[in-house]
Chains A and B, each alone.
Chain A
Amino acid sequence: MAFQSEDDKKAYWRKNLNLMFTLLVVWALVSYGFGILLRPVLDAIPVGGVGLGFWFAQQGSIYVFLAIVAIYAKKMRALDREFGVDDD
């Protein structure tokens, strides 16, 4: 048994899911939101001759995806250590 208690196991999983859902909301927001559905609104903000919505669709969303994966890896490492279930 890797966890100290059943409660720990539940708490770890809940925290993991919360982090995952939060990041997936951002993931959906920058791509489906900013890049597609909200493009008409965001395009009011000019970026390099086109709108911010267009930039998110062809560039920005990809940069945010990178940040999401990096944040998840970092935060999960900390969470693993906190609960003593890391693999180091």
Chain B
Amino acid sequence: MDLQTLTYIVVGLTFALYFGIAIWARAGTTGEYYAAGRGVHPVANGMATAADWMSAASFIGMAGLIAFKGYDASIFLMGWTGGYVLLALCLAPYLRKFGKFTVPDFIGDRYYSSTARIVAVICLIVASLTYVIGQMKGIGVAFSRFMDVDYSTGLYTGMGIVFFYAVLGGMKGVTYTQIAQYCVLIFAYTVPAVFISLNLTGNPIPQLGFLSDTGDGTPLLVKLDQTLVDLGFAEYTAQKGGSFNMLMYTLSLMMGTAGLPHVIIRFFTVPKVSDARTSAGWALLFIAILYTTAPAVGSMARLNLTNTIQSGPVGSAEGNLVYAERPEWFKNWETTGLLQFEDKNGDGRIQYYDDTNPEFAAKAESFGWKGNEMIKVDRDIMVLANPEIAQLPNWVIALVAAGGLAAALSTAAGLLLAISTAISHDLLKRTFMPDIGEKQELMAARIAMAGAILVAGYLGMNPPGFAAQVVALAFGLAASSIFPVLMMGIFSTKVNNTGAVSGMLVGLVSTLVYIFTYKGWFFVAGTNMLPNTPDNWFLGIAPEAFGALGALLNFVTAFVVSNMTAPVPDDIRHMVEDIRFPKGAGEAQDH
């Protein structure tokens, strides 16, 4: 069977599964729509959270990011997992005990203020909507690359599927689809990784193969460093950026992870407070399986790719791959534009090296090289082409397609759910139309979901020029505005309404201004006030790493303002003391 047919069959089967789940898991009440009736088993919720969390970027992009950034990409590995420690220890159990449906619900009630609730809704929508654009793009790209349909057809198909199970089933439908999607994506990620590790190191476990010796007895990472240095590239294991910036960046990603509403609301679906604690552990375990595999995939794929092109000694006439003899996968990915070759010195062979490295320039010239001829090596190639480079059977390649789509769909659905519940519950029911009944609220939730899908689809079709920058914005906002007020809401009985609102606004505005200063106002090119280079950054902190400092400003402002204004009312103090122990959390509903 040819690859195309096989891909259609595998992807078709996974979609049929998602549809089946959607019909089975229809939501009948707002409790089911917002929190899956609070009847999700902690292990199941852990799996759903992992799928919710791991996006197209984690699945397709991260290994490539690690492959090209090496050690410096550790910030993503630590940041995107360490956030779950904060969630498990500081947020999830208490917010579950509070027993409402959304993040603005907690902020509005704890700070007894509609203003606080609305500011939280705005932060939530900005953070989630910017994040969802990337997912919609991921869906379109995954479809077009794997299934040979154009981007817009792919995007519409993806929208249709999410529409079906999210509008029908709400949190309940999304939860059970995400569980299926996790199984698909983790299988699709680990199978090629196992084979590539086996090929290179003889060890089937990628996490161990990563540290093992290659065929000639040299450890994998030593060999990779050597191979890269020989071609003028920076060492994989060397640190390139400043330590303080790395620390702040990691901290921002951790706080951002803990503060992202679409992740937090997943913990509202488990039956008990103690389940929220264990469920965070399960989520982290399921995420760690992919995140500890990613550095192995990244380093091994980079070594494979480099060795394919530089097949002999560096500098010898026969050392480079003859373009006409390039392998089949190379041709396949050339047609997608992810790999591009230009024979600059006209020798019919491919030279792949770092031509921006002045120290290597003289050497390259003496070899008769006239510049790097791999004019494009898209980092997504590291995961996408992996099964082909490792010469795995076609069904594995088809599986990677289904996995990439599962990752993008599950995250998009989770984000859209967070947005639509904030609108129907926090804005309508809790703020502007408190008199609507449950049936009307459920209808409003479904309409809001449909609307959110259309907006996300529109943004996916017409991605704003700044689409690549916005993930930093989402994490920055979650870290600087949402995370601190949640922490203070639980661990302090002193922070009051005025304090929280001022803190959120200071965190939000300072982070936005810092990002815009270097990246341009609203990301409009050319409007940045300072060049975006390390020597211009405040204390060497990159715009993406400012969230932690924004959070600090939020904390300080909230405490100072709270001290100067009216104290927290007694009933709110009691409410805070009440969420600090598990007993008496809302009962589970059967379904």
| A69 touching B583, Cβ below 8 Å | no
Complex-state Cα separation, A27 to B212, whole angstroms = 27
Complex-state Cα separation, A78 to B277, whole angstroms = 13
With A31-B250, A49-B220 as contacts: A87 and B243 at CB distance below 8 Å: no
Residue B580 is within 8 A (CB to CB) of chain A in the complex: yes
Residue B44 is within 8 A (CB to CB) of chain A in the complex: no
What are the interface flags for A2-26 relative to B under an 8 Å C-beta threshold, 1 for contact and 0 otherwise?
1100000100110010001001100
| B88 touching A37, Cβ below 8 Å | no
User: Looking across the interface, which residue of chain A has its beta carbon closest to that of B281?
Assistant: A69
Residue B582 is within 8 A (CB to CB) of chain A in the complex: yes
Complex-state Cα separation, A57 to B243, whole angstroms = 12
Complex-state Cα separation, A50 to B223, whole angstroms = 11
Given contacts A49-B219, A87-B582, 4 further A-B contacts (CB under 8 A): A31-B250, A50-B219, A57-B74, A80-B582
With A69-B85, A76-B274, A83-B581 as contacts: A55 and B243 at CB distance below 8 Å: no
Residue A68 is within 8 A (CB to CB) of chain B in the complex: yes
Complex-state Cα separation, A88 to B271, whole angstroms = 10
| B281 touching A73, Cβ below 8 Å | yes
With A24-B89, A65-B82 as contacts: A58 and B582 at CB distance below 8 Å: no
Interface positions, chain B 73-109, Cβ under 8 Å from A, are: 74, 77-78, 81-82, 84-85, 88-90, 93
Most chain B Cβ neighbours within 10 Å, of A70, A76, A87: A87
Interface positions, chain B 544-591, Cβ under 8 Å from A, are: 577, 580-585
29 CB contacts below 8 A, A to B, read A13-B580, A24-B85, A36-B246, A36-B247, A49-B222, A54-B221, A55-B211, A58-B71, A58-B295, A59-B292, A61-B82, A62-B291, A62-B292, A65-B288, A69-B85, A69-B89, A69-B277, A69-B281, A69-B284, A72-B277, A73-B281, A77-B274, A77-B277, A80-B274, A80-B583, A85-B582, A86-B583, A87-B274, A87-B582
Size bracket, chain A contacts: 35 or more
| B71 touching A85, Cβ below 8 Å | no
| B281 touching A31, Cβ below 8 Å | no
User: Looking across the interface, which residue of chain A has its beta carbon closest to that of B87?
Assistant: A69
- A35 cross-chain contacts in B, Cβ below 8 A: 74, 78
| A49 touching B221, Cβ below 8 Å | yes
Binding site for A on B (CB under 8 A): 66, 71, 74, 77-78, 81-82, 84-85, 88-90, 93, 207, 210-213, 218-222, 237, 239, 243, 246-247, 250-251, 272-274, 277-278, 280-281, 284-285, 288, 291-292, 295, 577, 580-585
| A54 touching B89, Cβ below 8 Å | no
With A31-B78, A73-B281, A76-B277 as contacts: A48 and B243 at CB distance below 8 Å: no
Binding site for B on A (CB under 8 A): 2-3, 9, 12-13, 16, 20, 23-24, 27, 31-32, 35-37, 39, 47-50, 54-55, 57-59, 61-63, 65-66, 68-70, 72-73, 76-77, 80, 83-88
User: Looking across the interface, which residue of chain B has its beta carbon closest to that of A19?
Assistant: B89
- B292 cross-chain contacts in A, Cβ below 8 A: 59, 62-63
| B274 touching A73, Cβ below 8 Å | yes
Q: Secondary structure at chain A's binding surface: helix, strand, loop or mixed?
A: helix
| B281 touching A70, Cβ below 8 Å | yes
| B71 touching A54, Cβ below 8 Å | yes
Q: In the assembled complex, how far is the CB of residue A60 from the closest CB belonging to chain B, in whole angstroms? A: 10
User: Looking across the interface, which residue of chain A has its beta carbon closest to that of B276?
Assistant: A73
| B288 touching A63, Cβ below 8 Å | yes
- A88 cross-chain contacts in B, Cβ below 8 A: 272, 274
Complex-state Cα separation, A38 to B56, whole angstroms = 33
What are the 7 closest A-B residue pairs judged by CB atoms, nearest first? A48-B211, A49-B219, A57-B74, A69-B281, A85-B581, A73-B277, A87-B582
Most chain A Cβ neighbours within 10 Å, of B82, B210, B291: B82
- B237 cross-chain contacts in A, Cβ below 8 A: 50, 54
Complex-state Cα separation, A65 to B274, whole angstroms = 18
User: Looking across the interface, which residue of chain B has its beta carbon closest to that of A13?
Assistant: B580
With A20-B90, A58-B74, A59-B207 as contacts: A65 and B85 at CB distance below 8 Å: yes
Q: In the assembled complex, how far is the CB of residue B554 from the closest CB belonging to chain A, in whole angstroms? A: 19
Q: In the assembled complex, how far is the CB of residue A34 from the closest CB belonging to chain B, in whole angstroms? A: 10
- B222 cross-chain contacts in A, Cβ below 8 A: 49-50
- A66 cross-chain contacts in B, Cβ below 8 A: 281, 284-285, 288
With A24-B89, A66-B288, A72-B277 as contacts: A59 and B580 at CB distance below 8 Å: no
- A47 cross-chain contacts in B, Cβ below 8 A: 211
Complex-state Cα separation, A2 to B574, whole angstroms = 13
Q: In the assembled complex, how far is the CB of residue A55 from the closest CB belonging to chain B, in whole angstroms? A: 7
- B219 cross-chain contacts in A, Cβ below 8 A: 48-50
User: Looking across the interface, which residue of chain B has its beta carbon closest to that of A67?
Assistant: B281
- B247 cross-chain contacts in A, Cβ below 8 A: 32, 36-37
